[in-house]
Amino acid sequence: MKNGLVQILSQPMDRRTAITVAGCAVAGAATAAASVANAINPFASPESREASRLEWQRYFQENYRLMSEEEKTEALLRLERLHQLKHGGRISVSGAEPIEKVLFGYAFNVSKCRGYLECVSACIRENNQDRASGMAYIRIHEHRNGEFDFSKASDTFDHPVPAEGHFYLGTQCFHCQNPPCVDVCPVKATWMEPDGIVVVDYDWCIGCRYCMAACPYDARRFNWQAPEVPEADLNPNQHYLGNRMRQKGVVEKCTFCIQRSRDGRNPACVEACPTGARIFGNLLDPQSEIRWVLANKKVFRLKEDLGTDPKFWYFMD
C-alpha cells in the first residue's frame, strides 16, 4: 500500500487529472466553467467576481498533502475570504499540524452511557454538520439488555432515557490504525495523520463513496445536498481537515474534533457527556487517562477480527 501511495502521490496529478481518472470530467468542467463565466462577467459585482476567482483557484488547488507551506496558507485564507464574501461573517480556518509524540485514542464506558444524546447534539454544533438532512457522526445504539446485535438495536429512539431494560453504546469513526477506508480511496483524498486521526480533504474527495463501503463501522457520511448551517449557529473556529464547511457530493466523518484536539482540548462529545462515559487522550503518554483505562479495565473493540485496529475501545465498570 505504501508503495502505491508514494507512487501516486509523487506523480504530478492536478484536480483535472484526478477527475478524468474518475470519469467525472463533464460535471467537473461545468462547475469550473460556471465560476469562470462569472469571474469575467463585467456586470457581476466585484465581490461576486472575487468569489468566482477564488472558487476557480480552489477548484484547481492541490491535494492538501502535496501543498507547499505557502499553498496551504493560501488555501486557508481563501476559505476564510470566500466565507466572508458569500455569507458576510468571519471564520478562522486553521491548518494546525499534528503534535509530536501524540497518538489519539478514545474509550467509551458502556455502563455509563444512558442515551441522553448530549454528545450527538454537541458534535453537530461543533462540527457544522448539515442541519437540513440531520446528519450526525455519532450514533447511540439502544440495545436490549443481554442482546448485542446492532441489527436489532435502535439509533433513532426518542423516548425518555434510559429505557427500562436497555443499555446504550455509541459508535463513530474509530480512527483505525489500519483503516480500510483509506486503502480504497481512488484519489487519496482520505488518509491517516501522524497523530492517528483519519481525515478527508473535502476539496479533493470526488464523492465516489468507496470509503463508505469499505468502512466496517458505518462511520462515514455523504453530503447528498449542499450542507446548510444557519450563519448564527456556525462554529467559526474551523480546521481545514476538520469542521470547515463541506460541499455537496463529498464524504465527511468524525475527526476527533481535530480543531480542538490539536489545540489540547477534548473533543466536543467528551466535554458534553454528562455521565463521563467518554475518555480521550494520548496513547503515547503512560500517565494519560486513556492509558489508565486500557491498563485497568477489560476493554474490547468492535469487529476486532477484521484487523482494522481501531483506536476506540469499549469497557464496562
Rule CB under 6 A: which residues touch ligand SF4? Answer: 173-176, 179-181, 184-185, 187, 189-190, 198, 200, 205-211, 215, 217, 219-220, 251, 253, 308
Span of 11-19, 35-43, 173-181, 262-270 interacting with other proteins by CB under 8 A: 262-270
Span of 77-85, 145-153, 190-198, 290-298 interacting with other proteins by CB under 8 A: 290-298
Q: Which three cell numbers stand for residue 223?
A: 453530503
| CB neighbour class for 306 (10 Å; exposed up to 12, middle 13-18, buried from 19) | middle
With residue 238 as reference, give the H or E element that holds it: strand 237-239
Q: Which three cell numbers stand for residue 276?
A: 463521563
Among 293, 312, 313, 314, binds other proteins (CB under 8 A): 293
Enumerate residues 23-82 that contact other proteins by CB under 8 A. Answer: none
288 forms part of the interface with other proteins (CB under 8 A): yes
Nearest to 253 by CA among 188, 156, 171: 171
Nearer to ligand SF4, 120 or 211 (CB): 211
Nearest to 175 by CA among 141, 118, 215: 215
Q: Which does 120 bind (CB under 5 to 8 A by kind): other proteins, ligand SF4, none?
A: other proteins
Torsion of CA 254, 233, 160, 171, to 10 degrees: 0
222 forms part of the interface with other proteins (CB under 8 A): yes
Nearer to other proteins, 60 or 224 (CB): 224
Q: Are 252 and 223 in contact (CB under 8 A)?
A: yes
- Residue type at 130 in one-letter notation: D
Nearer to ligand SF4, 39 or 258 (CB): 258
Span of 74-82, 87-95, 171-179, 267-275 interacting with other proteins by CB under 8 A: 267-275
Q: Are 259 and 82 in contact (CB under 8 A)?
A: no
Q: Which does 135 bind (CB under 5 to 8 A by kind): other proteins, ligand SF4, none?
A: other proteins
Distance separating alpha carbons of residues 47 and 82, to the nearest angstrom: 10
Distance separating alpha carbons of residues 18 and 30, to the nearest angstrom: 16
Neighbours of 92 (CB within 10 A): 13
- Residue type at 57 in one-letter notation: Q
Q: Which does 179 bind (CB under 5 to 8 A by kind): other proteins, ligand SF4, none?
A: ligand SF4
Judged by the rule CB under 8 A, the positions of this chain that interact with other proteins are 99, 107, 109, 112, 114-118, 120-121, 124, 133-136, 139-140, 155-162, 221-222, 224, 260-261, 263-266, 273-276, 279-282, 288-290, 292-293, 296-297, 315, 317
